[in-house]
Amino acid sequence: MNNRDVIREIEALKQQMSELQQLVYQLLLDRKPENRPVRQAQNDVSGSDEPFKERSSVFYAGTVFSQGQGIRLEPQERQMADLLGIQTEKAAKIITALGHKQRLDILKTVLAAPLTGSELVERLRMGTTGQLYHHLKALLGADLLEQEPGGRYTVPKHRQLPLLLLLAAAGDMLDTGSYMDMAEARQHASLYFGTTGNFDAHHLLWAVMENVILEHSAGYAGEIGIFLHEHGSVTVADDGRGIPVEALPHSNTPEAQSVLTDIQRLNNGAQLLVPGAEKGISIAVVNALSEALTLEIRRDGRIHRQEYRRGIPQTGMQIIGTTRETGTSVTFTPDRELFHEALDFNRIKKYTASITTAYPQLIVTLSGSNFHITS
C-alpha cells in the first residue's frame, strides 16, 4: 500500500523552488551591493518618486546553445537613466539596420547555422549574389557578421545573445505593426471607398455580412441576425462555427484577434470591394474604422468576448460564459469622424432582400428597438 502524501510533497517542492528563486535573486543583488531590492523599491510609496526613478534599472541575462556550443551572458544591469540617455542617432542606425527585412533575414538564418554566400542566396531566394553581398558588406562592417575561414558567415559570439534579446523584445511588440497598419487605414480610408469624403458606413455592414455569407457557402452558417441599436451601432450575429480563439503558432495572440487586427493577413476572410476603390474592406478594416467594436464568439462550449476601440484591443480574449451554440457576433459603431450619416433601415432592408434572393437557404433577420423582420 502506498502511503505517500502527494499534496504535501508538492507543497514541499513549491517551497524549495521558492527558496531557490530567492537565492538566485539574492545572488544578483550581491553582484551590485549598492542596489536596493526591486521589491522594496516597488513598495516604496513615499511622497516623491524621484528616488525610485534613480533606482530604476533593467536586469537581463541568458544562455543559448548555438552552433554546437553553449553561450552564457552574465547577468547585467542597465540603469534607466542610461537607457533613456542613449545617443538616439546611433541607436536609430542600429534599429534601422536590423529593421531592414533582408538583413534581418540574413542574421536570423545564420544564427540557426553558418552558411556560405551561395547557400544564403538559395535559402533566402534573393535571385542575385550582388544583392546579397551589398547587405553582407553592411553587416560585416557593423560587426554583426563575420566570415569563417571556410567562407561561411555567422554572427559573432559576443553579438548572438544581444541580437536574440532584440528579437525577443520585438516579439513582444509585434502587434504594434498591425496597429500601425490600422492607423494608416484610418488615415487613408479613401482607398477602401473610392472617394475622398462622405464615406458610406453601410459598406462596413455589407463587409461583415460577406463573412457570414462565406461561412454559409462553406456549409455552416444558416442564419444572420442584424440588430440596429439606437445609439448608432449595429450587431451582426451568425450561427456558424465561430472564429477560432486558439493562439497562433509561435505566438500568444488568439487567431480571432489576428483576424480582427491584421489588415495584411491573406486569409482574413471575405473582403468587400467597393466600386472604384483600390482595396477591399475586410473585417480588420471594419475594426479599424469603428469607434468601438465588440467581438463575441460561441465555440467549444464557451462564450468568448473581446473589446476594441478604433482597432486596438481594450481587453484580452475573455471567457464570459458557457453555451451549446456556435457562431460569431460583431457589434460595431462606425467612427463618426469618418462617417457622417447614420445607418439607414430602408437601405439595409433592401440589401438583406437581395441576399435572401441570392442565397434562399440563408435566413436573414433584421431587428431594432421597434421592429422585427425575417426574410
User: pLDDT for 83-108, tens place per residue?
Assistant: 888 888 888 877 777 778 888 899 99
287 SS3 class: helix
d(CA 235, CA 293): 10
From the candidate CATH numbers 1.10.10.10, 3.40.50.300, 1.10.150.170, 3.20.20.70, the one assigned to the domain spanning 87-172: 1.10.10.10
Indicate yes or no: pTM above 0.85: no
Over residues 231-249, the pLDDT tens digits come to 999 999 999 999 999 988 8
Per residue in 61-80, pLDDT (tens digit) is 777 766 666 767 677 787 88
223, containing H or E segment? strand 223-228
Fold classification of 176-374 is: Heat Shock Protein 90 (3.30.565)
Q: Where in the chain is the domain with CATH 1.10.10.10?
A: 87-172
- CATH 3.30.565.10 in the chain, residue ranges: 176-374
Cell of 197: 469624403
Walk along the chain (375 residues) in steps of 10 and give the mean pLDDT of each run: 62 66 56 45 48 68 69 76 83 78 89 89 82 86 89 88 81 76 92 88 97 95 95 96 89 90 82 93 96 97 96 94 97 95 94 95 89 72
Centre a 10 Å sphere on the Cβ of residue 352 and count the other Cβ atoms it contains: 20
Q: What does the DSSP assignment read for 69-104?
A: EEEEEEEEEEEHHHHHTS-HHHHHHHHHHHHSHHHH
- Residue 282 and residue 268 in contact, taking contact as beta carbons nearer than 8 Å: yes
